[in-house]
Structure 1
Amino acid sequence: MKIYFLGTGTSQGIPVIGNKHPVCLSTNLKDKRLRSSILIEWKGSKILIDCGPDFRQQMLRIDNDSLDAILFTHEHADHTAGLDDIRPYCFMESKAMPVFAQNRVVESLKRRFDYIFETTNRYPGAPSIEIHEIEAYSDFTVDNKTIKPLLVNHGSLPILGYRFKDFAYLTDVKTLNEATYEQLHNLDVLVINALRIQEHPTHNNLDEALEHIRKIKPKKAYLTHIGFQLGFHDEIQATLPENVFLAYDNLTIEI
């Protein structure tokens, strides 16, 4: 299994428009972050988690020419706003793109991208989507590969994380319940969000992310969905436990 970190930034990315904070002005490429998303290459299948506003740029940057499915964690714009840009994959493969999401997220997509879901007088240039509604803790398959959707609390909003064999991806976490912790035993790699040093009402800060990691006990953990307030990549990395790493855009790992 190969994991491509397409973006590791928070909703505004880094640098933030007009922001003169030193991290936003950094020349270190590891401090430049597009909106959070990963691509999983797993035994011939390519599975995207979240399709944010930087999706087109991210696909061009890794020269990716195929996509088999999209999994959404939740409906916020930094995780969904690139949906129209899946068109080339639909056109190249002449088929609808399988999209997996909670019912609430599907309804949000239908409102935001109504022309994609139009069934009469449909615009011929719109991408074709095959919707699969999923729920936390009910496994589903993509190309005969089993995926476990897990409940994650994004503040008061119930969203999804995903487990693929010995790998799990959790973003926009604030709290986890015991049922989700139970599903995260024996991981080789955990990816989890760490927005900043200070507390935030709906996202982990660094201490909260590290506490989740201590409880889950993966062999390795990578932090993502990072804001400029966390600090410079290299300085923060030097403070982390030996099995915890700050993810960065274009990082690729194999499991």
Structure 2
Amino acid sequence: MKVRFLGTGTSQGVPVIGCSCPVCKSLDFRDKRYRSSIHIQVGELSLVIDTGPDFRSQILQSGISTLDAVLFTHEHKDHTAGLDDIRPFNFAQQKDMPVFARAQVLDQIRREFSYIFSSQKYPGVPQVETIEIDEQSFTIEGITITPIPVLHYKLPVLGFRIGDFTYITDANHIPDSSIDLIRGSETIVLNALQKKPHISHFTLDEALKMAESLGAKNTYFTHISHKLGLHAEVEKELPEGIHLAYDGLELTLD
């Protein structure tokens, strides 16, 4: 399995428009963060989790040329707004793009991208196959994917586990039943927004406590705000086996 972080930023990205803080003015490439998204390659299967507003730029920079499926964690715009940019994959692969999400997420996508689902389609609109999922494991081309239900304040969000890799973004609570689904993962991704308390995201301390309780070999933090601090400085504060992810980071997993 190969994992590439397409984006590791929060809903505004980093730098934030109009902000002159040290992080937003940083010249370190690791402090430049697109909205959160990840690409996973398992054998021949190529999939992405979330298509935020930066999706086109993320795909171009990563050099991804084939895409077999899109998984959505939840319906917020910073995770769905780039769906239109699957069109080149439709043209190149000559097939509809399977889109996997909860019913409420698919309903939101149908409203926000109504032209995709119109009975009289404009030529060239994205071609999608919507596939409703719940909390049960499902397969894509023989690869088993296990949804991990979490809460983003009061909003249900799905993380996903594939083999020994688990990806969770936009969460501030993981139920015990989901903890059981995560345990045994060797590599885990968690959101760590900032150091100060937040209503709907783990803080750095909360993410650290969760990571330590889960005990994965390696944990990477994503969905990072400019308020967390400079990548180079925060990275020094983290214990062994826990890291800040950054855009373009690639992992090769067994």
Query: Counterpart of 2:182 in 1: which secondary structure?
Result: coil
Q: How does 1:110-125 map onto structure 2 within 5 Å?
A: 110-118=110-118, 120-125=119-124
Letter in 2 for 1:41: Q
Match among 168, 176, 195 for residue 197 of structure 1: 195
| Cα shift at 1:192 | 0.4
| Cα shift at 1:150 | 1.1
Determine the structure 2 residue equivalent to 1:133.
132
Q: How does 1:234-245 map onto structure 2 within 5 Å?
A: 234-245=232-243
Determine the structure 1 residue equivalent to 2:180.
182
Q: How does 1:144-163 map onto structure 2 within 5 Å?
A: 144-163=142-161
> Does residue 52 of the first structure (1) align with residue 52 of the second (2)?
yes
Determine the structure 2 residue equivalent to 1:229.
227
Match among 207, 211, 214 for residue 213 of structure 1: 211
| Cα shift at 1:188 | 1.1
The separation in 2 between residues aligned to 1:54 and 1:75, in whole angstroms, is 16
Letter in 1 for 2:188: L
1:183-207 Cα deviation digits (max 9, x unpaired) = 0111110000000000100001101
1:200-243 Cα deviation digits (max 9, x unpaired) = 00001101111111121111000000000000001000000111
Letter in 2 for 1:45: L
The separation in 1 between residues aligned to 2:186 and 2:180, in whole angstroms, is 15
Q: How does 1:55-94 map onto structure 2 within 5 Å?
A: 55-94=55-94
Q: Does the CA contact (< 8 Å) of 2:7 and 2:33 recur in 1?
A: yes
RMSD: 0.6
Match among 247, 250, 254 for residue 252 of structure 1: 250
Report the identity percentage.
Answer: 48
| Cα shift at 1:32 | 0.5
The separation in 1 between residues aligned to 2:224 and 2:69, in whole angstroms, is 25
Letter in 2 for 1:182: D
The separation in 1 between residues aligned to 2:191 and 2:84, in whole angstroms, is 26
1:152-205 Cα deviation digits (max 9, x unpaired) = 100110110000000000000100101000001111100000000001000011
Letter in 1 for 2:187: V
Q: How does 1:155-174 map onto structure 2 within 5 Å?
A: 155-174=153-172
- Give the structure-2-normalised TM-score: 0.99
- Structure 2: 5+ residue stretches without partners: none
Letter in 2 for 1:8: T
- Structure 1: 5+ residue stretches without partners: none
Query: Counterpart of 1:5 in 2: which secondary structure?
Result: strand
| Cα shift at 1:124 | 1.5
Query: Counterpart of 2:150 in 1: which secondary structure?
Result: strand
Query: Counterpart of 1:183 in 2: which secondary structure?
Result: helix
The separation in 2 between residues aligned to 1:121 and 1:248, in whole angstroms, is 42
Determine the structure 2 residue equivalent to 1:13.
13
1:16-53 Cα deviation digits (max 9, x unpaired) = 01111111000000001000000001011111000000
| Matched pairs, number | 253
| Cα shift at 1:73 | 0.2
